[in-house]
Every structure is written in C-alpha cells, then in structure tokens.
Amino acid sequence: MRKVERITSVKNELLDIFMSINVAEHEKRSRSAAQRNLRARRGIELHNEFKQLERNIANLSDDERH
C-alpha cells in the first residue's frame, strides 16, 4: 500500500502544480487584456479630444485666433 500512497501523492502534487500554472497563466492573460483595453480606451479618448479641439479652433473667428 505504501507505493500506491506515494503514487497518489505524486499525482496530487502534479495536479496541484498544473492547476497553479493554469491559474497564473489565466491571471497574466487577464491583466494583459485589461491593459490593452485601457490603452485602447485612452487612445479613443485622445482622438475625441483632438477632434473637439479642432472643432473649437475652427469655430473661432480670425480675430480670436491671434
């Protein structure tokens, strides 16, 4: 029985290691996705801010520009 217990113990340890690796990979992918989403959102915000600035400048009369 001792040998069977050791084999079971090793199997459980390997399963725990495998599960830990999967969790770590999932967390890393989630963090990367969140960072990409934040960068994309900020890029869109900057684009909209520049477009708004362009519209505001275009609406100024020549006297107000100088």
More confident residue, 2 or 61: 2
Q: Return mean pLDDT, the chain.
A: 91
CA 56 to chain centre: 34
Average of per-residue pLDDT across 9-17: 94
Range of the domain at 60: 2-65
Among the residues of 1-66, which ranges form H helices? 2-59, 62-65
Instruction: Determine the residue type at 53.
Output: L
Confidence of residue 38 (pLDDT cuts 50, 70, 90): very high
Average pLDDT over residues 50-62: 88
Say how far apart CA 19 and CA 15 lie, in whole Å. 6
The reported pTM is: 0.60
What was the pLDDT predicted at 1? 67
Q: How much of the chain exceeds pLDDT 70, in percent?
A: 89
- Going by C-alpha positions, the residue among 57, 49, 53 that lies closest to residue 66 is 57
Please state the domain count of the chain: 1
